[in-house]
Amino acid sequence: MERQLRGFAHKYGKNVDTDVIIPGKYCNLVDPVELGKHALEGLDPEYAARMKPGDIVVADTNFGCGSSREVAPIALKGAGTAAIIAKSFARIFYRNALNIGLPIFESVEAVDGIEAGDELEVDATAGTVRNLSKGTSYKAVAFPPFMQSLIEAGGLKPYVERRLAEKKSG
């Protein structure tokens, strides 16, 4: 995962659900780049064409509610989205995003202080969001320690490999 992220903000409202992030008809696609062409199509059909790799999605509460489809964060990442900053995330999306290595940050103040088009710089390790356009800075809610350790270990896969080894040895 890149530690220093820099890109422009695309701002949306609350309850951005998985059906608009990647409509059901595309859920038989597996290639992240192909999925990425349809990222957010149900809400903002121009997103994939307009955004530049490295850009950041900023949204209100309950981002990613609805289905468990892992292709939702995969599509956003496949399009080149560098991170999601929201006031809160739906439970399954939150796990999925971390599991596939799409950085997510929770901060009410950051979302309120960012407008569409603002240039942002995010330090993924420190969880800080700097709004370069407005000269403001915000601290995201820290991950629970267990999740932080998963992220630092490189995601769920290394964790599973370690647990498998532990089980085999006994």
Partner 1 sequence: MGMTLTEKILARHAGLGRVEPGQIINARVDLVLANELSAAVSIGVMRSIAGADRVFDSEKIALVEDHFVPAKDAQSANLAKMMKDFAREQNVKHFFDVGRGGIEHVVLPEQGLIAPGEVIVGGDSHTCTFGALGAFATGMGSTDIAAAFVLGEVWLRVPPTIKIVYRGRLREMVFAKDLMLQTIGILGIDGATYCAIEFHGPTVDELSITGRITMANMAIEAGAKNGIFHADAKTIAYVRERTGREFMVERADVDAVYQRVVEIDVDGLEPQIACPHTPDNVRPVTEVTREDIPLDQVFIGSCTNGYIEDLRVVAAILAGKRIASNLRVIVNPGSQQVWMQAAEEGILTTLAAAGCAVNTPGCGACFGGHMGTLGDGERCLSTTNRNYVGRMGSPKAEVYLGSPATCAASALTGKITDPRIVSAVGA
Minimum distance of partner 1 from residue 62's CB (angstroms): 4
At its nearest, how many Å lie between partner 1 and the CB of residue 22? 10
Residue 37, token pair as written in the block = 């062409």
φ, ψ of residue 54 in degrees (nearest 5): 105, -15
Which residue lies nearer to partner 1 by CB, 132 or 164?
A: 164
Alpha carbon distance 81, 122 (integer Å): 13
Smaller CB separation from partner 1, 116 or 165: 165
**Nearest alpha-carbon partner for 118 in 136, 140, 141, 138:** 136
Spatial distance between the Cα atoms of 23 and 39, rounded to a whole number of angstroms: 9
CB of 66 to partner 1, least distance (A): 6
Minimum distance between the CB of residue 126 and partner 1, rounded to whole angstroms? 23
Footprint on this chain of partner 1 (rule: CB under 8 A): 15, 17, 19-20, 23-25, 27-30, 41-43, 61-62, 65-71, 74, 88, 90-92, 95-96, 99-100, 144, 146, 156-157, 159-161, 163-165, 167-168
Which is nearer to partner 1, 55 or 70 (by Cβ)? 70
Burial 114-128 (b: 16+ CB within 10 A, else e): beeebbbebebeebb
d(CA 100, CA 165): 22
Q: Which is nearer to partner 1, 134 or 163 (CB)?
A: 163
